[in-house]
Amino acid sequence: MSVPIPQPPTIPFIGNVLALDKDVPVHSFVLLAKTYGEIYQLNILVIGATVVSVNSYALANELSDEKRFKKEVAGGLREVRNLAGDGLFSAYIEEPDWGVAHRLLMPAFGPMAIKGMMEEMRDICDQLILKWERFGPHAVLDPAADFTRLTFDTIAYCSMSYRMNSFYSETPVPFVTAMGDFLVECDLRASRPRVLQAVLGKNTKYQQDMKVMKDLANEIVAERQAHPAEKKDLLNTMLYSSDPQTGKKMSADSISRNLITFLIAGHETSSGMLTFAIYHLLRTPEALRKMRAEVDAVLGDRPAQVEDLSKLPYTTAVMRETLRLTPTAGKRAVVPLEDTTIGGGKYFVKAGQTIIIHVWNMHRDPLVWGEDAEVFRPERHLDGKFEALPPNAWQPFGFGLRGCIGRAFAWQEVIFVLATVIQKFDLSVADPSYTLQLKQTLTIKPKGFHIYARRRTDNP
């Protein structure tokens, strides 16, 4: 017999919407999990929907079964469709252009292709290193901002050979500002009744932001078509390859939507990951010491080469632990394909019911990670322990067919940059009393976190 899914008390006319922290929803989802445990549902009357949330490993694992569940394009992500449509990230799996783009692009995101992007990644990484060196040891640095410059410029340069030149701009380049505002508005729209959109007068600004992004994507495609180049980048793959299954090519629209998708999906998560990694390392001197020792032993003072990156197990463990404790994509959504029960028959869920997997909570499940689940401890991934984890216990890149296509790209970029930064600089927290605060849009990153970077070669 199934039991009702727990639900916080409802407020008439509003439902449970007040249970949510508007600025940093993950705070609410942590508290709700502490109060209600592995599963609960919220009734969001203003949008006329009930949303189920799960927090435990066991339920998340059960929901990671593509025979019974599929990705739901819910909430803010559904609004992202206003811009990116059936681009890979925001598509419904039934949309034919998702399949075409997925099959055609998979090889271009494979390990060999990504290795071939190493020198482009180095070009941008050098810009970050030079900037921090030139600013010197007394400048207060904003790692979230500089890592965003880095990851944004890297995805643009690697995927379409286009230079954003964010390091040469004091403020974020227009695409990044438009994207940030667009994503905030997507989240707001997801929690607001439709009729209110126009009344609130946000539409003009929303349209303008989308236009900034679309114009840039179209400009990049037009430029390449006008001046074809012998590049092995993702843009050429999209322009000239065809889907091995249907023989189809990507339409101009689909190319533009996926370019925008790469720019959106391909930088915030990685920059948040780099910022969290630095934050965790500075709070955990023992981990920093071990990682530095490894980097020094493998690299000495020469520039990292692509072959070096697989010889850094401790650094790899630091990255895995960063994405466990602070997954920058903190949740994902699925729907059951048919009416079913989860939790060993305990909870009934209807076909099409939105279910959110709170990866942020699931990654702290003590049944998998032990009583010290809240502690940053890279050692828990070493010596075969990562490989021995139960299936789907570590899931920062999503799952299955709809898992992250950019995983190998992000991994190479982050390990290279992290190792290089630790190789070159002694870092310290600018404000020793800093406690972690979060900034959340579609992704989560540290807020107000500042550091100093002193070149190691400058030390006595």
* CA–CA distance, 26 with 22 (Å, rounded to integer): 9
Determine, following the binding rule CB under 6 A, whether residue 396 of this chain makes contact with ligand MNH: yes
Q: Which of 158, 186, 404, 443 is catalytic?
A: 404
397 is catalytic: yes
Sequence-ordered strand ranges (E) for 312-366: 331-336, 340-342, 347-349, 355-358
Determine, following the binding rule CB under 6 A, whether residue 360 of this chain makes contact with ligand MNH: no
* CA–CA distance, 36 with 7 (Å, rounded to integer): 8
Contacts of residue 276, Cβ cutoff 8 Å, sequence gap at least 6: 322, 325, 326, 328, 445, 446
Which pair of tokens denotes residue 71?
Answer: 């990705």
- The CB-of-261 to ligand MNH minimum distance in angstroms stands at 5
Per the CB < 8 A criterion, the answer to whether 260 and 213 are in contact is: yes
Rg value, the chain, Cα: 22
Determine, following the binding rule CB under 6 A, whether residue 273 of this chain makes contact with ligand MNH: yes
Residue whose C-alpha is closest to residue 28's, from 276, 360, 313, 308: 360
Determine, following the binding rule CB under 6 A, whether residue 155 of this chain makes contact with ligand MNH: yes
Longest Cα–Cα distance in the chain: 71
* CA–CA distance, 93 with 401 (Å, rounded to integer): 9
Which pair of tokens denotes residue 278?
Answer: 């630095």
Helix (H) or strand (E) run with residue 21 in it: none
Per the CB < 8 A criterion, the answer to whether 416 and 107 are in contact is: no
Which residue number, 157 or 452, has a Cβ lying nearer to ligand MNH?
157
- The CB-of-73 to ligand MNH minimum distance in angstroms stands at 8
User: In this structure, what are the phi and psi dihedrals at residue 347, rounded to the nearest 5 degrees?
Assistant: -120, 125
**Sole binder of ligand MNH in the list 178, 265, 288, 298 (CB under 6 A):** 265
**Sole binder of ligand MNH in the list 55, 127, 166, 269 (CB under 6 A):** 269
In the bound complex, which residue of the shown chain has the CB atom lying closest to ligand MNH? 406
CA dihedral 415, 419, 425, 429 (to 10 degrees): 50
**Sole binder of ligand MNH in the list 53, 328, 392, 412 (CB under 6 A):** 328
13 is catalytic: no
Determine, following the binding rule CB under 6 A, whether residue 402 of this chain makes contact with ligand MNH: yes
Q: Which of 237, 261, 269, 420 is catalytic?
A: 269
Amino acid present at 249: K
186 is catalytic: no
Angle (CA) 127 444 274, round 5°: 30
Determine, following the binding rule CB under 6 A, whether residue 237 of this chain makes contact with ligand MNH: no
Q: How many other CB atoms sit within 10 Å of the CB of residue 298? A: 18
Which residue number, 15 or 406, has a Cβ lying nearer to ligand MNH?
406
Question: Residue 404 annotated as binding?
Answer: yes
Determine, following the binding rule CB under 6 A, whether residue 404 of this chain makes contact with ligand MNH: yes
Determine, following the binding rule CB under 6 A, whether residue 332 of this chain makes contact with ligand MNH: yes
Over the window 87 to 116, marking each residue x when it contacts ligand MNH by CB under 6 A and - when it does not, the resulting string is: -xx------------x--------------
Determine, following the binding rule CB under 6 A, whether residue 261 of this chain makes contact with ligand MNH: yes
Question: How far does CA 369 lie from the centroid of its chain?
Answer: 22
Judged by CB under 6 A, the stretch of 122-130, 242-250, 291-299, 390-398 that binds ligand MNH is: 390-398
- The CB-of-430 to ligand MNH minimum distance in angstroms stands at 24
Which residue number, 347 or 399, has a Cβ lying nearer to ligand MNH?
399
Q: What is the set of active-site residues? A: 269, 397, 404
What residue numbers does the annotated binding site cover? 404
What residue numbers does the annotated binding site for heme cover? 404
Footprint on this chain of ligand MNH (rule: CB under 6 A): 71, 88-89, 102, 155, 261-262, 265-266, 269-270, 273, 328-329, 332, 396-398, 402-406, 409-410
